[in-house]
Amino acid sequence: MSEEDQLLRNLTQSSLGKGHDNKQVNDLQRLYRKILHASHFSSDFNVNKVVKHLAVNKDVKVAAEFQTLYEKLAKLGTITHLDNVVEFLHKVGIDNERTQTFNSGVRVSSTPLQSELRSLQTPAALSHFSVTPYGQTPANSVTRLSAGERQRLTMSSSGLGTSRASSHVPPLTSQSQPPSHSTPHLNSSESFNNYKAYLKDDVQEVELIRDVILVAQGIESKLMRFDPKTESYRIPDNVRVSPHKKKICCSLAESGWLYNKIKQYVDQKKLDNTFGPIGLSFCVALQSELRSYLRLIAVLDTQLTEHGSDITGGLTLTRLALWFKEPIKNLKLVASLVDIAKGKKGGALLSIIHSYSWHGAIAHTSLVSNMLSLTVKPLFGIISRWIYTGTLEDPYNEFFVASDPQVKDDNLWHFKYSLRKSMIPSFLSADMARKIMLTGKSVVFIHRVCHDNTQLERRENVERARLTEGSAMFSQNEEDSFTNMIDVVYKETSKHLMEVLYTKYNFINHLKAMRRYLLLGQGDFIQQLMDLLVTELSKDASALYLHNLNGILETAIRSTNAQFEDKDILSRLDVRLLEISPGDLGWDVFSLDYRTRGPISTVFTSDTVIFYLRIFNFLWRAKRMEYALANLWRQKQQYSRMLRGMTELDDLLHSAHIIASEMIHFTQQIGYFINFEVIECAWDDLLHKVNQAEDLDHIIAAHQQFLDSIMTRCLMDEEHRPMFSQLRTIFDLIIKYQQILEGFLEKASRENEYRVEYMRNAARRDSQSEWATTEEREAAEKERRTEFIQLTLKQTRSQLKVLAQTYQGMVTKFLVMLATQTDDKLQALRFRLDFNEYYQQKEPFLASPQVLKKSKPPTASLLPGDTVMQPVGGLIGLLGGRVPDNTM
């Protein structure tokens, strides 16, 4: 006999007392064993409660002894269900202790065993467990147990505590009756039979299984009703079902609540007219999971029907719980998707579903992937039609490519299509979404703007990469077929678009034409045009007429190599007059223009044309400085020979030569910097990027970067606005110098003519034997010469001195500004402008260590065969002058 059987037998004999046969003892022992092994006990029984009970009701030593014995038994491991045994003994011990100790005078409440027997509602049973009311001790109350038996029962039940399993038994109320000698006790055999009758449920397990299967489909059953307050299916309290079975039923009933939750969402969205194809596909995926779940229900129902009430070979609640374990887990996952999908649509909905696929459980990942495969089908169809035909069918705004129907074809590429970032699925990268948008946009651009309907040359490559399954969009495999499909279609479509622009619309030729004419790259044409326009542009801006300027433009074209240009390019070349301000000359408002129309206007937009006009205006002004100084230099050389006899002009002309040499050096270095360091470098970079471009967006970005680079290096952006204003001031001083010197040379030429005429007349009269001069003539001649020297010469000398000082101050300030820049090319420009450190001697900042550290010869920027420009002193030496000083 095992230790457990011996313990149960001893407890049974103690409970029954003497005078009972072995059959009764064995029956009660089997009942105790059934109760012990049944699930009437709490799974989370705490032994500390027993210790606490013993310490309060017995003695601290008893509690400590019990705890020591319990720990020893737990270490031995001989009793399999030690906690259940202790809980059972604790219940029985308390029950026997309270029912058989009536002379203690303590009020006792119903124990679980008392409640179970009282539920039989028999007077005998109630009288057997009647106790004395609190505070009363009847004199004639006696017990049915002897002192020895009572002591044995107390010892057998010592150390046992209460259990929470009693809470699972439905509470029944009974009124205690006062003890009486006439009230017979219920004998132990009757109590045992009544207790066995109580353990039977009101309903059979088969009925519970049938109701659970019905509730699992979201339908209320006879025994299980939906409680709106708790939002759960419950068994009414008046139906007696064991706590274990009730717990299983309520747990399985959760599947019905989940089923209804998912089904209600599907039914609601099917009636929603604003729910697009992707959302409806999500509903289809939900329905697919519900159908799989219902198939399981059908199998279980069939199995229940086949076995009927025979639960030994058929379904039991325990087996049903095992069957429902995985489906309930799947329903919870699907229901969580339903919760988080509320208010989402399109790509945002797909992103949410995809986020649930990143899970360690294979079954979890497989379920989400299957649902995502069904949901993504409409998106895959939209993408396929978009990249292959340029058709955008998205009335519910679920696609991540948005279209603006109000934008015309002229601005199709820039403004008609855009990305909805919130609708880009998480399994598509931003670069992939951009390629998809560009591919479809390229197809539309080819058909509607370029009016080209020819097939792709490598169409077979595109068709070979075409997919039919949308699951490839988010599947992670080695082939990565969806990415390959997008890349192939994107590259072939973009290549076809660029071929159309290059061949049919001569994009490269138009780009080069902009470089030659608006960026002054066609030198002979620009020089001829400036020679022809100098008279017209010297007039007031309001006196200019476009037809006159257009005539001069055509003359310049016919007289230079520009005449061999393509007719389409020449037809686009035009003259534009900028906005006129008071005091403007023709030089200030004149500009060449290049009319862009057709597909090339996608690259040469109206905004980029404005950039070109601003750059042309700056380059035209810088070219004018060179042109003005070159003409002035030629005039000085002519007048120098003519005015050789006017020795009083030597000092002024020498000073003018020095100023001119400084200005020529400055304009030459600025011109070299603009043409070679800025434009040519940017142009070479542009051609390289255009040749390497994969799509039209890359060409547009490269072209915009080309213009931005020129604007920045030419000091025309916002960051360099003070430097640009300083440079404009220097240019204005050069024009002022031109005006002063030309005016003086003209006056000096007239004075020289007067003197030559005076000498010629004197020689003629002398040859005629007349007085060569008279006192009056000599006085008039002397007065005129004195006036010229005192007024014209002195005033011009003063003007040139002020202008020279101002010019040198402006150049010095400009060099200081350049010294603060971090751009290497601007530092190279500063080095060229002050090659002989002339201005460095005037400005201490230019000689500071932080500036000198940046100073180095710009050898890296020299062209092959080029030499460093002669410094100011060397240029002056070539002109026969001297290095300028502070005096004039």
pLDDT in tens, 527-571: 999 999 999 999 999 999 999 999 999 999 999 999 999 999 999
- Could you count the other beta carbons within 10 Å of the beta carbon of residue 657? 19
Residues in the chain: 888
- pLDDT, residue 144, reads 37
The dihedral sign for the CA sequence 85, 90, 95, 96: positive
Task: Let me know: does 191 contact 117? Beta carbons within 8 Å.
Answer: yes
Task: Let me know: does 255 contact 332? Beta carbons within 8 Å.
Answer: no
Q: For residue 43, what are the CA distances in angstroms to 48, 53, 81, 83, 163?
A: 15, 19, 11, 9, 10
Nearest partner of 115 among 58, 167, 44, 184, judged by Cα: 167
**CA torsion 89→94→96→98, rounded to 10°?**
180
Residue found under tokens 């992670």: 476
Residue 634 corresponds to which tokens in the numbers above? 């030629």
User: CB-based contacts of 366: which residues, under 8 Å, 6+ apart?
Assistant: none
Nearest partner of 293 among 213, 373, 349, judged by Cα: 213
Rounded to whole angstroms, the Cα distance separating 553 from 528 reads 9
Task: Let me know: does 685 contact 704? Beta carbons within 8 Å.
Answer: no
Count how many Cα atoms sit within 13 Å of the Cα of residue 671 in the half-sphere of its side chain: 20
Q: For residue 280, what are the CA distances in angstroms to 259, 344, 355, 400, 472?
A: 18, 12, 19, 17, 20
Residue 90, exposed/middle/buried by CB under 10 A (0-12, 13-18, 19+)?
buried
User: CB-based contacts of 429: which residues, under 8 Å, 6+ apart?
Assistant: none
Which residue type, as a one-letter code, is found at position 58? K
Element (H, E) at 720: none
The residue ranges of the chain whose pLDDT is under 50 are 39-43, 101-188, 191-192, 194-199, 312, 478, 859-888
What's the pTM?
0.68
The dihedral sign for the CA sequence 128, 133, 134, 138: negative
Rounded to whole angstroms, the Cα distance separating 150 from 17 reads 10
Element (H, E) at 64: helix 60-76
Count how many Cα atoms sit within 13 Å of the Cα of residue 868 in the half-sphere of its side chain: 16
What angle is formed at CA 133 by the lines to CA 129 and CA 139, rounded to 5 degrees? 90
Query: What is the DSSP secondary structure assignment for residue 649, as one 8-state letter?
Result: G
Residue found under tokens 């003409």: 631
Helix and strand element counts for the chain (H, E): 35, 6
The dihedral sign for the CA sequence 717, 723, 727, 728: positive
Long-range residue pairs from 845-854, CB within 8 A, at least 24 positions apart, any chain = 845/816, 845/819, 846/812, 846/815, 846/816, 846/819, 851/819, 854/819, 854/827
User: CB-based contacts of 8: which residues, under 8 Å, 6+ apart?
Assistant: 29, 32, 33, 36
Q: For residue 82, what are the CA distances in angstroms to 45, 406, 536?
A: 11, 81, 116
226 DSSP β-pair partners: 233
Would you give the end-to-end CA distance of the chain in angstroms?
135
418 DSSP β-pair partners: 402
Nearest partner of 709 among 731, 725, 730, 689, judged by Cα: 689
Query: What is the DSSP secondary structure assignment for residue 503, as one 8-state letter?
Result: I
Query: What is the DSSP secondary structure assignment for residue 456, as one 8-state letter?
Result: P
Rounded to whole angstroms, the Cα distance separating 548 from 284 reads 74
Q: For residue 389, what are the CA distances in angstroms to 398, 418, 593, 796?
A: 19, 18, 38, 76
234 DSSP β-pair partners: 225
Rg value, the chain, Cα: 54
Residue 37 corresponds to which tokens in the numbers above? 């092994």
- pLDDT, residue 175, reads 37
SS3 breakdown of the chain: % helix, strand, coil, rounded to 5?
70, 5, 30
The dihedral sign for the CA sequence 114, 116, 121, 124: negative
Rounded to whole angstroms, the Cα distance separating 471 from 475 reads 6
DSSP string over 683-703: HHHHHHHHHH-SSHHHHHHHH
Q: For residue 568, what are the CA distances in angstroms to 93, 285, 336, 506, 593?
A: 112, 59, 65, 10, 14
What angle is formed at CA 41 by the lines to CA 36 and CA 45, rounded to 5 degrees? 120
User: CB-based contacts of 865: which residues, under 8 Å, 6+ apart?
Assistant: none
Residue 375 corresponds to which tokens in the numbers above? 């949901």
What angle is formed at CA 165 by the lines to CA 159 and CA 167, rounded to 5 degrees? 120
Q: How many angstroms from the chain centroid is the CA of residue 382? A: 23
- pLDDT, residue 612, reads 96
What angle is formed at CA 442 by the lines to CA 437 and CA 443, rounded to 5 degrees? 105
Residue 148 corresponds to which tokens in the numbers above? 């020895």
Rounded to whole angstroms, the Cα distance separating 506 from 509 reads 5
- pLDDT, residue 20, reads 66
Task: Let me know: does 396 contact 345? Beta carbons within 8 Å.
Answer: yes
What angle is formed at CA 380 by the lines to CA 378 and CA 383, rounded to 5 degrees? 110
Rounded to whole angstroms, the Cα distance separating 743 from 465 reads 77
